[in-house]
Amino acid sequence: IYFLAIFSFFIFALPILLKAIDAWVFILAGVLSLLLIGVFLALLNVAVPARIHKARLPLIAGIGVVYVGLHILYFTNIIPPIPLALTESGVFHTITRVSGNYQVTYEPQSWFQRARRVYEPIHIRPGDAVYIFSAVFAPTQLRTPIQHHWYFYDEVQEKWISKAIFEYPIVGGREGGYRGYSLKRTLAPGKWRIDVETKRGQVIGRVRAKIV
């Protein structure tokens, strides 16, 4: 438990201190966690050597399981990219930037309609574009690329098919999150999902739409 707490602290703190969220930062968090827990256990061994000697194998096994397990979860993109967070997102017909703000057009729905639907319905004509907006919070001065990964659900194959990836850089520090958007034309009717993710493919958030 102590090792997990230490590792979790470094996973959160190092990206803020180093202003980066690359894989090497996660690896460094693991190394520092091992060093710190090693020092802690060495001090305990001086204070209560008999108890540490008796619990040595379970301690090593527990630390090893946590260390390896977190690395597997991270490099399979199951762990979210802490400390990034999606603060706002949406699907729109148009997005225009005016005087530092974004003006959008969308299909009005009641809160009850929105609550019932997992996929936001978007009615388009041939050639129309669909816009995806996202605001991603990041610590001050942290710079990293963010991707909008567009997927279409193929009803025949019964799986999600990657259709496009759009990338843009963000700079941390804005209270409401760094804002950006992507657009795509010639969308096939059906279910679409747009993952807001890091360059490594770690999902920060997701937008769902149904093209009609």
Give the model's confidence band at 29: pLDDT under 50 very low, under 70 low, under 90 confident, else very high. very high
Classify residue 5 as exposed, middle or buried by CB count within 10 Å of its CB (0-12, 13-18, 19+).
exposed
Question: What pLDDT sits at residue 74?
Answer: 92
Contact present, 170 and 189 (Cβ < 8 Å): no
Q: Is residue 116 part of a domain?
A: yes
Question: What pLDDT sits at residue 176?
Answer: 84
Length reported for the chain? 212
63-105 pLDDT, tens digit each: 999 999 999 999 998 888 888 999 999 999 999 988 888 899 9
Question: What pLDDT sits at residue 112?
Answer: 61
Give the model's confidence band at 118: pLDDT under 50 very low, under 70 low, under 90 confident, else very high. confident
Give CA–CA dist 138/172, Å, rounded: 4
Give CA–CA dist 89/207, Å, rounded: 7
According to DSSP, the β-strands at 120-122 and 203-211 are parallel
Give the model's confidence band at 110: pLDDT under 50 very low, under 70 low, under 90 confident, else very high. low
Is 57 in the same domain as 105? no
Whole-number mean pLDDT of the chain?
90
According to DSSP, the β-strands at 143-154 and 129-137 are unpaired
Convert 12-38 to b/e letters by CB count within 10 Å (16 or more is b).
eebbbeebebeeebbeebbebbbebbe
Sign of CA dihedral 9, 11, 14, 19: negative
Whether 113 shows a pLDDT value over 60: the answer reads no
Contact present, 161 and 154 (Cβ < 8 Å): yes
User: pTM score > 0.75 for this model?
Assistant: yes
**Count of beta carbons in the 10 Å neighbourhood of residue 146:** 23
Instruction: Give ∠ CA 179-125-127 in degrees, rounded to 5.
Output: 70
**Per the structure, how many domains does the chain have?**
2
Choose the final residue of a domain: 75, 95, 118.
75
Give the model's confidence band at 116: pLDDT under 50 very low, under 70 low, under 90 confident, else very high. low
Is 52 in the same domain as 96? no
Is 106 in the same domain as 66? no
- Write down the residue that tokens 């997005």 correspond to: 95
Radius of gyration of the chain (CA): 22
Is 90 in the same domain as 66? no
Choose the final residue of a domain: 40, 75, 110.
75
Choose the final residue of a domain: 27, 52, 75.
75
